[in-house]
A and B are shown apart, each in its own frame.
Chain A
Amino acid sequence: QKEVEQNSGPLSVPEGAIASLNCTYSDRGSQSFFWYRQYSGKSPELIMFIYSNGDKEDGRFTAQLNKASQYVSLLIRDSQPSDSATYLCAVRRSYKYIFGTGTRLKVLA
């Protein structure tokens, strides 16, 4: 079992819809959780991080964390074609970062 699991996709959503990206992790010692976006051929860029149970909103993005279920998600409201990318979930454990394999999102115009 991978320590951080994501569905590889592609997840296809129409423009203007809500995209929901999910991530599960296995180590309960994980301390903080990050969502990165990676366009094809580019380096990852941070979208947001979360470390407390509940929701955290930043513009069109909402991260949700449920430590009991070991689950973190990212919601993208009003999805745009420019949101088409691979979304990487990462967890921080001690001083290390563990990344999932990413979910490819396609927003259809």
Chain B
Amino acid sequence: EAQVTQNPRYLITVTGKKLTVTCSQNMNHEYMSWYRQDPGLGLRQIYYSMNVEVTDKGDVPEGYKVSRKEKRNFPLILESPSPNQTSLYFCASSLNSGQYNEQFFGPGTRLTVL
């Protein structure tokens, strides 16, 4: 089944404890992206990657890191999480960086930072 998977789905952590949220897709997609969704602020793009080893900042990259060493994986790293990073996170992928491609979203990761 074609899909985007994220792990973990739920995570409660404490301020300053490094964490990684994994994202994997099995559709051979080139373009991958991370979003956070907050009430009243909608979905905001954190980082995106157009292909292996090519990443760039979205609109809210502060406090996050990403890497794209393999085509299928695009982990999101929070090196020192803070409470304002409590949010619902979505990973998404699309065929390539063309303008008209559908993004397929993962199921989401709900992160709480205490």
Contact = CB atoms under 8 A, between A and B. Distances in A.
Interface of A: 31-32, 34, 42-46, 49, 51, 88, 90, 92, 95-102
B58 A43 contact: no
Among B45, B48, B97, which residue has the most Cβ atoms of chain A within 10 A? B45
A49 B59 contact: no
Interface of B: 31, 33, 35, 40-45, 48, 50, 56, 58-59, 90, 97, 99-100, 102-103, 105-108
Given A49-B102, A96-B58, A100-B42, 16 more contacts: A34-B103, A43-B106, A43-B107, A44-B90, A44-B105, A46-B103, A92-B99, A95-B50, A96-B45, A97-B45, A98-B45, A98-B59, A99-B43, A99-B44, A101-B41, A102-B42
Nearest to A47: B102
Among A42, A92, A97, A102, which residue has the most Cβ atoms of chain B within 10 A? A97
A85 B21 CA distance: 27
A90 B44 CA distance: 10
A101 B37 CA distance: 9
A49 B45 contact: no
Nearest to B107: A43
- Cβ-closest 5 pairs across A and B: A101-B42, A43-B105, A99-B43, A46-B102, A32-B99
A96 B59 contact: yes
Nearest to A97: B45
Contact of B103 (A31, A51, A95, A97): A97
A35 to B, nearest CB: 11
Contacts of A95: 31, 48, 50, 56, 97
Contacts of B107: 42-43
Contacts of B103: 34, 44, 46, 97
